[in-house]
Amino acid sequence: MFNLQLFSLSVSVWSRALLLIVLCGGMSLAQAAEESKQTTPQLKSGVFDPPRMAPDFSFPASNGSEFSLSQQRGKLLVLGFGFSNCPNVCPMTLANLAQVFKNLGPLADKVQVVYMTVDPERDTPEQLRKYLAHFNASFIGVTGPAEQLASVRQSYGIIAQKEMHKNGKDYDVHHSSYIYLIDQQGLLRALVPFGKSANDITHDIRILLNEASAAPASQGQAAP
């Protein structure tokens, strides 16, 4: 004879057991996700989340060629803005990046520093070449028409303002001092504020380079 009370009790027990399994499974997944987040190396600079394509540009470069950002796939780019007559901020930034290259050792071959002038009136490609050589001969400077440079600065959120000296002849250019890390696929990944240590920048670059080297291996292991 069918026992409705016993059947209801059995359903209740199984329902509770199933709920417990689901909850435990959910807790395990959440715990695994949190542990994965904790073990995944984190960038120490500001992060673009999600990453987005870096605005493209093409200008005459200090190495005698035409530099196009979109043609640099496979290189991690460190993009900065400054000028050769900069009294303090630019030399400090470039000296810091020179130390980063020393820290990276052989990995520096996978990285390219690009310094876009905010002072095209004085910064010719040759002037930039001489200036950047004081820090690292591999650093590339780019310059071009003032209007085009201003358009690129706007797309990257860079501010530059000329201030004349009292003599009416000389001037300085006040400008944003952060740099961008652009990965090997051309995506904006990090915004590095002025004053970030060479060790922290090296740390972030290593993470991005490791991501790129791990990607092909992961794709090779993917199921067909």
- Residue 2's CB is within 10 A of a number of other CB atoms, namely 5
From first to last of its 224 residues, the chain has per-residue pLDDT tens of 444 444 344 445 444 544 444 444 444 434 533 443 444 579 999 999 999 999 999 999 999 999 999 999 999 999 999 999 999 999 999 999 999 999 999 999 999 999 999 999 999 999 999 999 999 999 999 999 999 999 999 999 999 999 998 887 889 999 999 999 999 999 999 999 999 999 999 999 999 999 977 765 444 444 44
Contacts of 145 (CB under 8 A, 6+ apart): 120
What pLDDT is stored for residue 109 in this prediction?
Answer: 97
Considering only CA atoms, give the Rg of the chain: 26
Q: Are 173 and 118 in contact (CB under 8 A)?
A: yes
Would you state the pLDDT for residue 40? 59
Domain regions of the chain by residue span: 46-215
State residue 216's pLDDT score: 57
- CA distances in angstroms from 160 to 87, 112, 139, 169, 191, listed in the order given: 15, 23, 22, 18, 17
CA distance 164 to 99: 33
Q: Which CATH number fits domain 46-215: 3.40.50.300, 3.40.30.10, 2.40.30.10, 3.30.590.10?
A: 3.40.30.10
Give the pLDDT score at 192.
97
The residue among 68, 86, 90, 203 whose CA lies nearest residue 144 is 68
pLDDT in tens, 143-159: 999 999 999 999 999 99
